[in-house]
Amino acid sequence: MLNLKLTEEQRIVREQARKWFTRELEPHLEKMDNHEITPYEYIRRFAHEIVGSGDITSVQQLEEIVANRDFITTVLLGIEVSRASPGFAMSMGATYSLTCFAILRDGTPEQKEKYTVDLARFDKIGALAITEPEAGSDVLGMKSTATKDGDHYVLNGSKTFITNAPYADIFVIYAKAPGGISAFLVERGAEGLTTGKPLEKMGMRASPTGEIFMDDVRIHESQILGDEGKGLYNLFAVLQNERAHSPAMSIGIMERCIDESVRYAKQRVQFGRPIIKFQGMQFMMARMWTALLASYSFLFTLGELLEQGTDISIMSSAAKLYTTEKATEVAMDAIQIMGGYGYMKEYKVERFARDAKLMEIGAGTSQIQMLIMGRKLADTDEPELNPLLAGPDPFGSM
């Protein structure tokens, strides 16, 4: 069973991360939110100073780190990053958990050698490009094409809502090749590849998001990631990895919103006493805390299943659905508790509310997660609903 008792080392890592973010990042978050500065210098510094990414010098070393990584330590860091800035966490994750993970999983030895160490060290920024103007949840509806021309592919089309796109150095781009949807490795500077300015978003503004345009981008066949036509297998593995870790981001949002609103409620006096003494406020806070505890349960259950090497397809969808929706609810409750002050930028919770909403959209919307689970339930005669007996998939093996 997963040991939920934190080691002294894990406590120290958590404490160091929180202190670093308070000291080094918090003073600059308003500028990031206003697109005055990018997060990448700070991501690289955090990765080198706290995570130790600067010590990675070889693919073999990176693969050993990934194979032996401690789940609890990893998610504790993820929670701390998101407590400070979910947008910062999103840009960091797009480089490491999406782009680097995709190449490390399906790349050739040459591709791994060329890209993964720089991405893991955050010396290079990565972007995973799936979504298009007319193809979001409907991945099969993408219109970007990769036409074979001798020992090259020629890419045409566009992508939108891509994390890190305006500044990324290395792109994993999905397009329709002759054999089906495939993934391609494209570097910034490739002829015909351009990116747009950061899009003006409601939330996650510390994470630059943008468009990618491909106009006869010619790349060698050695730049295909995995086999032609097998891009969706790579993509689903990447998305499952993202969904499994999404509760950490949601928990970070919830923790920060609860902290801020409880602190405020203890100081805010109305009708002669602090508002935290009113039963209505206590009820709201109790529900917020319950959502946080349940989200931790999802996170640690996923960790246990990953440790066992169990298929987490269904459980990760359930975890993402619950924790992301609760993060939005908790953030909105924090604003309600703080009243007009909660609506002001100075008090920070309005930023977390804006950031939280995207968690219900990215990596598969809440409706897609419900569709995945609902279809399995509809197609199963006698599902085993007790997770202790059924494991992560009450509907049978995937």
Catalytic sites, residue numbers: 242
| Number of C-beta neighbours around residue 389 at 10 A | 8
Cα 317 from Cα 243, distance rounded (Å): 7
Cα 64 from Cα 60, distance rounded (Å): 6
Token pair 């730049």 is found at 223
Q: Are 341 and 264 in contact (CB under 8 A)?
A: yes
Cα 286 from Cα 318, distance rounded (Å): 23
Cα 18 from Cα 77, distance rounded (Å): 9
Nearest C-alpha neighbor of 338 from the set 377, 288, 372? 288
Residue 277 makes CB contacts below 8 A (sequence gap 6+) with none
CA 237, chain centre distance (Å): 14
The structure tokens listed for 62 are: 């990176």
Residues in the chain, total: 398
- Point out which residues pair with 219 in neighbouring strands: 153
Cα dihedral 214/220/226/230 (nearest 10): 50
Token pair 């990953």 is found at 306
The structure tokens listed for 242 are: 């993202």
CA 243, chain centre distance (Å): 7
Cα 45 from Cα 24, distance rounded (Å): 9
- Point out which residues pair with 274 in neighbouring strands: 269
H or E stretch at 85: none
H or E stretch at 110: helix 109-120
